[in-house]
Structure 1
Amino acid sequence: MNVSTAPGDLDPYFIPATASIQETRPRTLKHGDTFAVLDRNGNMPLGGGTEGLYHRDTRYLSLLELLVGGGRPMLLSSTLREDNATLTCDLTNPDLFEDGKLVLEHDQVHIRRSTFLWQATFHERIVVRSFANVPLSVPIELRFAADFADLFEVRGSTRTQRGRRHGPRIEADRIILAYTGLDGQDRSATLRFSPAPAQLESARARFRLELPAAGRAEITFEIGCDVDPATQTRPPTDAFFACLRESRRALRQAAGRAASVDSSNDIFNESVRRSISDLTMLVTDTPEGPYPYAGIPWFSAAFGRDAMITALLVLWMDPAIARGVLLHLAANQAQTVDPVADAEPGKILHEVRRGEMAELGEVPFRRYYGSVDSTPLFVMLAGAYLERTADVATMQRLWPHILAALDWLDTHADRDGDGFVEYFRQTESGLANQGWKDSHDSVFHADGGLAEGPIALVEVQGYAYAARLAASRIAAALGDTARAAALATQAATLRDRIEAAFWCEDLGTYALALDGEKRPCRVRSSNAGHLLLCGVPSPERAARVGRQLMDPSFFSGWGVRTVAVGEARYNPMSYHNGSVWPHDNALIGLGLTRYGQHEAAARILHGLFEACVHIDLRRLPELFCGFARRRGQGPTFYPVACAPQAWAAVAPLGLLQAALGIGFEPATHSVVFDRPVLPDFAEQVILRNLAVNSGRIDVVLRGRGASTGMQVLRREGQIRAVMVS
């Protein structure tokens, strides 16, 4: 991500925390490159918040407000379907007065708003029902506005010049709001209504509903982003139901492709279903396959690091996502040196933006490569995908891109020739820190002084080691035994160098990084846990790191903090220096399991599950504050954390894999449970539709903690389940 806790003069891409997203608990919808942020009433109010309808990094609608009799209706309930398909808001009328006289008592009219997104169009149906015993004439008004602000403007960037907003084009049942940007692109929001409003103006549509006693009426409207009017052949009412059926069918098909989880704990089941629904919503279809966008509202775009970690955490459930991610990133791999984009041949994307500011170069993220870890993660994920699926054909397709990535690791990535991977932005407009902790102050020394580059992050060296081992396995699968042996030797040499340069015996862990002078940043951080995932530490050192990550200086009760209590820049309210990130915990959990520390992984899963109990919609946010857990209270929220966020959504799924020791052996058609540990909150977990090659199997695990047994419930094709105790 490109978020910072720095003032704007230090980092131009930080997100100002002038208001807390957690206060409003907005409702979000997404399909493809379009997303909507609404309040709990289903409105998009003015006021400088995040609410709006966005398409390709531009806010197409900045105001949408429903009024009844000139007043704002009162909220009864706000429900986002479990599959994220629709938002339903139940409202009622307030007391309405005319000339000081009460003309409609409250709670006489029920209003139900049903909203969803499909193919760049916002659909809404408003059903108004009277519970009065006399006829009612109910005035309904929809207010709207389109500012066509770039997403970075909404985030706080200022612009000296903007494009031209056109006057509205109004017809009987529609209005078109349009804008031509400085990039020469025309953008338009087309609002269509059924029935046609009694009065349609540049910023409002007015209706008068004549309701008999206990009668009902409805209004349907849609907002299309850059739609061709010639394609709008169906009335909004017909389009609403047809598109709703299509959207739900697509969600069912996507969810049905993956394995599913059920347990003896109903709340955990709710959180898992929300995780899968959020992932399904965030996945966007690309020409190369499914690709999870990072999160809403700030990161609804293709991010390399986020997508690969997300794919890795759900690889056991849905390998198709990893394949789509790998192929899409390969198609967008850098080919040339471009300092503004931080691009070098073989490098893998950091992010892609399609808004006006990116197109004009006002921000460098049109196609930006400024992350040091995306490239080794690409090779790591390819190796994990091959191990999970034995899909050699996809590896053959990816092999030239893997070789290019390895070449980048050997050349451009090693900026001083010492064998480590370093980063240093090529221009002042790029990101200063290019690991996953990319705040301006996230890499520092024990005295709190900021490290100066080129910087070699400890986890990135682990990724580079794991990437070479993964490439060795891929080369062997493709028949290139000589290259496989050379890559394995290169990995072993790097492992020895990491151990020698980063291990701090007195700290009992690995240094956060090496600075430009090769001085270790002697800070206890969660980054060391990623080395466990990569298999770098010796068993003895891994045991010490694992014990430290689970002691109170790191483990808050909800999860592992990014920085330990007592470090110079520790702050539980910071973005990267003491907060708890679910995806970070999931990667650590998988690393702990690699070294046999299954109970620790189950404990982390338990902590994040307990956090879900206290969180709206059971939805884990991007991060939360690192304050210690207090009896009877939930976690402390971070004010501008994204939710849903792809890698946070799938963190419990990755941790469940870690606790249950789930692995796959395609050569023997086997699902393997290696010393599984059930989390304390569940005595039974059922995994359905686990796939190996063409076989599928349903398995139940029962017991308590490490005393766990396994039973096969269903088997389809050649497949078996094995438990290692």
Structure 2
Amino acid sequence: MALDVTVGPPVTIINYGNTFLVSEFDGSITNASDQGFYSRDTRYISRYQLYIDGQPWILLNSATITYYASRTYLANPRVITEHGEIAPSILGLVLSRAVAEGLHEDIDLRNYSCQPLHFNLEILIRSDFADIFEVKAKEFTRRGHIETEWKSAPQQLITCYRHDDFHRSLIVRMEHCTSKAVYGNGRLNFEVDLPPGAAWHACCKYEILEGDRLHEAPEECAHALHRSKTARNLSHWKQVTTQITTSNEDFYRLYRQSVEDMAALRLPRDDEQQQEMLAAAGVPWFVSVFGRDSLIVSLQNLIVYPDFARGTLRRLADLQATEIDDYRDAEPGKMPHELRSGELAHFKRIPHTPYYGTADATILYLIALHEAWKWLGDDLLFPHYQDVIRRCLEWIDHFGDRDGDGFQEYQTRSGRGYENMGWKDAGDSVVYPDGSLVKGPKALCELQGYVFDAKLRVAEGIEYFGDPERAAQLRKEAAELQSRFEERFWCEDLGYYAYALDGDKQPVKTIASNAGHLLWSGIVRPDRAEQVVRRLLKPDLWSGWGIRTLSERNPAYNPFSYQNGSVWPHDNGIIAMGFKRYGFTKEAGMIARDVSEAASYFRFSRLPELYAGVKRRPGTFPVQYLGANVPQAWAAGSVFHLIRAILGLDADAHKKTLYIDPVLPRWLPDLTLHQLRVGQAAVDIRFWREGEATRHDVLAVTGELKVEPRETPGVKEV
């Protein structure tokens, strides 16, 4: 049986949409930490503790029930009161929490002794209204002022923060309480009298006032949680998403958790369009709109919930830049990297309003649009976004290619901008073979692959809609890019592609995982694909838990770093897709095995954003990365890419066809997909191993759909 490995610090996290709570296992929120109750980049509770006559309760056990709810069991310590001694562990306290736009907290006490007990239950609540950027940086500056008001009659505690026109409030409503609260010295105090065997209850509703908009707590108490709107939402999500069955229990748990993580990270496109969803990047740091992340998650989810792409494409189109703004690294046609709504963004002390410091989101937008069109079969997509597509292509050819050499390169112009603008966006993630930092502008290899793929995809779309001349021009541009790319990026001495071209247009001959994305995009010359695959699987990159971001031979390698030797599940999912594209099915299955087995060691079989790149040996386990986002959208979505690689799934909804090329590895002897959607149709399809062969059987079809085998490699001819 796999060990239970804690990812990150030992905390409890529950979340819903833009709102989340990070606490200790005992429910407390400690000082000088990043814990708290947050919504839309503001921390509303920065300190929380339950006391019995001034002493903290003792943790017995706690767990998250589902992504939006938790339960904690506590017992009393030995307490000396004016009424006598209370022996330890004769009082039970159950703390139940459920988060939606606000937080509902139930406190339930029971006297398990044979004597009446009299004591004070105290709730310490502090609010600092800190911006999440300052929490993460651990540099907090008070700018406005905080006022707290206790209203005894309605039993409400109102704490308000005001800084010029930025107003936020936390409203704590005490309801259905067995005894009334009084407030003083930052604590709500209840005088509790409990006869033997008696129970005591209180509902605490934490609601958020953001400007003039109230975000309410769930109405239901813990015992009725299954009847809540959030529970119904989750139940509906499971009904409309693709589900699986398999005899590999670990893989099943990973998939099931990943589907639930996607539910946890859904955001409405905006306040007026609650039904159109896109994915937040992750909790706690990235609960917001992210261009690159949301687009990759949309691609991952095409076999699970293809409509994710609709909200993502529309929201990012709304945010597409229209002017040059150096502070925000914005240029006409560019897609955003990150949108924030906290105090620092409100006063433009950070450029995230939105910030456009991404070199790949604009290109990935075109890839995601085409893939969504193929899976959804919605012929309104391309015409609806034709102006957005045109502006994306113009940005790629003009601003993306800074010096006109036909390659994509980036360099920030903002004083608050990011040094690196690919998916590896840490400041130290792009290094020379000697470990030193690459000087810019930087032309990452994968950016060229993305452009190659995007232009071919747009060509297919616009030809379908009646513009063959423009389609031919785009295919010509893609072919010319591929030729230039092979000439400048291929390093014969390495048998591998350069990580990037540096500011002097010299190849950066660093061995990193990025070349795996080239296989996914299809820009790699077929006769060189095997060398790339074999190089990615050498021990300096392949840890046994997945492919590392950077070779362990590089002086900058650190398995515990963010992007210089760690393993990222989404990176591995994309690489597995690339392996499959060039016909390396066995190798794609090896990556899938590594990542799925790593998941079995983490709590709830939930993949974190990343984990350490330490080598897998007998008796070892994957090692946590402190500060990893959990749940994290593209980590959860990586298993969907792995399934797609193993089964060779592709779709053409216009032809009412699902293409398959299944090769199940030995560790996954059977896999059944239920309600896999293609256009308006859905299919149940079973795959199983028979000797060394993989068979399939179409169990049920709703609507009109053909299932056709199609062999890889599926490299586009240009």
Q: What is the TM-score with the length of structure 2 in the denominator?
A: 0.93
The correspondence for 2:103, drawn from 122, 132, 137, is: 122
Partner in structure 2 of residue 677 of structure 1: 663
Partner in structure 2 of residue 644 of structure 1: 631
Partner in structure 1 of residue 159 of structure 2: 177
Partner in structure 2 of residue 104 of structure 1: 86
| Superposed displacement of residue 363, structure 1 | 1.7
| Superposed displacement of residue 617, structure 1 | 2.1
In 2, Cα distance between the equivalents of 1:304 and 1:614? 30
Aligned pair 1:42/2:17, yes or no?
no
Partner in structure 1 of residue 354 of structure 2: 367
Partner in structure 1 of residue 715 of structure 2: none
In 2, Cα distance between the equivalents of 1:40 and 1:680? 39
The correspondence for 1:221, drawn from 178, 192, 204, is: 204
Query: Does the 8 A contact of 1:21 with 1:641 survive in 2?
Result: no
Query: Does the 8 A contact of 1:74 with 1:92 survive in 2?
Result: yes
Partner in structure 2 of residue 141 of structure 1: 122
Query: Does the 8 A contact of 1:198 with 1:206 survive in 2?
Result: yes
* 1:325-474 map, 5 Å: 325-474=312-461
* 1:657-696 map, 5 Å: 657-674=644-661, 676-696=662-682
| Superposed displacement of residue 267, structure 1 | 2.6
The correspondence for 2:193, drawn from 196, 210, 227, is: 210
Query: Does the 8 A contact of 1:193 with 1:236 survive in 2?
Result: no
Letter in 2 for 1:181: H
| Superposed displacement of residue 240, structure 1 | 9.3
In 1, Cα distance between the equivalents of 2:8 and 2:400? 42
Partner in structure 1 of residue 600 of structure 2: 613
Structure 1 SS opposite 2:385: helix
Q: Which has the larger displacement, 101-110 or 610-619?
A: 101-110
* 1:455-604 map, 5 Å: 455-604=442-591
User: Residues 320-374 of structure 1: CA distance to partner in whole angstroms, max 9, x if unpaired?
Assistant: 0012111110111001111101000000000001111122222221211011011
Structure 2 SS opposite 1:251: helix
Query: Does the 8 A contact of 2:283 with 2:630 survive in 1?
Result: yes
| Superposed displacement of residue 102, structure 1 | 7.8
In 2, Cα distance between the equivalents of 1:449 and 1:23? 29
* 1:229-240 map, 5 Å: none
Letter in 2 for 1:467: A
Extract unaligned runs of 5+ from structure 2.
712-718
Aligned pair 1:313/2:294, yes or no?
no
| Superposed displacement of residue 213, structure 1 | 2.3
| C-alpha distance 609-349 of structure 1, shift in aligned 2 (>3 A) | same
Structure 2 SS opposite 1:24: coil
User: Residues 636-655 of structure 1: CA distance to partner in whole angstroms, max 9, x if unpaired?
Assistant: 11112111111111111211
User: Residues 632-691 of structure 1: CA distance to partner in whole angstroms, max 9, x if unpaired?
Assistant: 2211111121111111111112111111211223234232221x2324433221211111
In 1, Cα distance between the equivalents of 2:140 and 2:118? 46
Partner in structure 2 of residue 698 of structure 1: 684
Query: Does the 8 A contact of 2:374 with 2:654 survive in 1?
Result: no
| Superposed displacement of residue 514, structure 1 | 0.3
In 2, Cα distance between the equivalents of 1:430 and 1:234? 37
Query: Does the 8 A contact of 1:90 with 1:111 survive in 2?
Result: yes
Pairwise CA RMSD of aligned residues? 2.4
| C-alpha distance 551-77 of structure 1, shift in aligned 2 (>3 A) | same
Query: Does the 8 A contact of 2:96 with 2:222 survive in 1?
Result: no
Letter in 1 for 2:67: N
User: Residues 252-304 of structure 1: CA distance to partner in whole angstroms, max 9, x if unpaired?
Assistant: 22332221122112232222121111111111011462110111111111110
Partner in structure 1 of residue 240 of structure 2: 257
| C-alpha distance 427-21 of structure 1, shift in aligned 2 (>3 A) | farther
Q: Which has the larger displacement, 655-664 or 580-589?
A: 655-664
In 2, Cα distance between the equivalents of 1:334 and 1:500? 33
| C-alpha distance 96-368 of structure 1, shift in aligned 2 (>3 A) | same
Q: Which has the larger displacement, 401-410 or 569-578?
A: 569-578
User: Residues 686-724 of structure 1: CA distance to partner in whole angstroms, max 9, x if unpaired?
Assistant: 211111222221112122795222122222222233345
Query: Does the 8 A contact of 1:175 with 1:191 survive in 2?
Result: yes
Structure 1 SS opposite 2:303: coil
In 2, Cα distance between the equivalents of 1:369 and 1:230? 28
Structure 1 SS opposite 2:564: coil
Query: Does the 8 A contact of 1:33 with 1:55 survive in 2?
Result: yes
| C-alpha distance 235-291 of structure 1, shift in aligned 2 (>3 A) | closer
In 2, Cα distance between the equivalents of 1:229 and 1:486? 52
Partner in structure 2 of residue 15 of structure 1: none
In 2, Cα distance between the equivalents of 1:627 and 1:322? 35
Query: Does the 8 A contact of 1:123 with 1:240 survive in 2?
Result: no
| Superposed displacement of residue 497, structure 1 | 0.9
Letter in 1 for 2:204: F
In 2, Cα distance between the equivalents of 1:95 and 1:711? 64
Q: Which has the larger displacement, 167-176 or 329-338?
A: 167-176
In 1, Cα distance between the equivalents of 2:216 and 2:8? 41
User: Residues 539-580 of structure 1: CA distance to partner in whole angstroms, max 9, x if unpaired?
Assistant: 221111111112211110100000112123222122111110
In 2, Cα distance between the equivalents of 1:234 and 1:301? 20
Q: Which has the larger displacement, 280-289 or 55-64?
A: 280-289
Structure 2 SS opposite 1:367: coil
The correspondence for 1:57, drawn from 41, 45, 53, is: 41
In 1, Cα distance between the equivalents of 2:666 and 2:267? 35
Query: Does the 8 A contact of 2:611 with 2:622 survive in 1?
Result: yes
User: Residues 15-40 of structure 1: CA distance to partner in whole angstroms, max 9, x if unpaired?
Assistant: xxxxx994532222222221111221
